[in-house]
Amino acid sequence: VVGACDVVNPSANTAKGSPIYGMPILEVEKSKNVIVCNLDEKPGYSGVENTLYSMKNVITIWGNASVTVPTITEACR
């Protein structure tokens, strides 16, 4: 997942009264393993903390994607 916040935030299913509650999301948390590349861990436009970032099956890589994605690509070679 590159640069995504609210669209992959599992809190959309549970954070009643929040701007994202009930919003359709990509349920990436159901994947066996997830790598999230995002600028930082700050909440998106909704202001709701993304619980995906603290799940056991998730690796987070913070920083600008123009640097982090090529680094990951090179490591996979």
**Taking the CB of residue 15, how many other CB atoms lie within 10 A of it?**
18
Tell me if 60 sits within 8 A of 39, measured CB to CB: no
15-70: pLDDT as tens digits: 999 999 999 999 999 999 999 989 999 998 899 999 999 999 999 999 998 899 89
State the catalytic residue, choosing from 5, 6, 20, 25: 6
Half-sphere exposure in the Cβ direction for 64 (13 Å, CA): 2
CATH code for 6-75? 3.40.50.1220
User: Is position 40 annotated as part of the catalytic site?
Assistant: no
Q: Is the pTM of this model over 0.75?
A: yes
Q: Provide the residue ranges of all domains of the chain, joining segments of one domain with +.
A: 6-75
CA separation for the pair 48, 54 (Å, rounded) = 14
